[in-house]
Amino acid sequence: MIGKRKLCRVCGKSMEPLLQEGDYVIYKNLTPSEKSLKEGSIVVAEHPLEKNKLIIKRVLNIDSTGVFLIGDNKLSSTDSRHYGRVNFSKVIGLAEELSK
């Protein structure tokens, strides 16, 4: 990838209609000191319960305990409604570009 950006491929329907299965998300790595997240941002995070699995979700809200992440397609998404807030350390990237 260009510079410090990475590529992640969408699996599943949790972010439809914005992101379809097979779409790619280009994201910028976030360091712990760089957690400048905003509500509405799309992020890449380590799954809070499953090792070696990444998730792509939208930031619904942020507080001192972590980030509440939610899928755009609420009927097909496993997200913070199921596993709670995600620790800031699990949020590894901020989506910069979405492509089909």
Alpha carbons 90 and 100: distance in angstroms, whole number = 26
Task: Give the Å distances, CA to CA, from 92 to 42, 76, 87, 88.
Answer: 11, 23, 11, 8
Amino acid found at 32: P
> Can you give the pLDDT at residue 37?
83
Q: Averaged over 28-39, what is the pLDDT?
A: 75
- Boundaries of every domain in the chain: 5-99
| 5-99 topology per CATH | Umud Fragment, subunit A (2.10.109)
> Can you give the pLDDT at residue 1?
45
Neighbours of 19 (CB within 10 A): 23
pTM of the model: 0.87
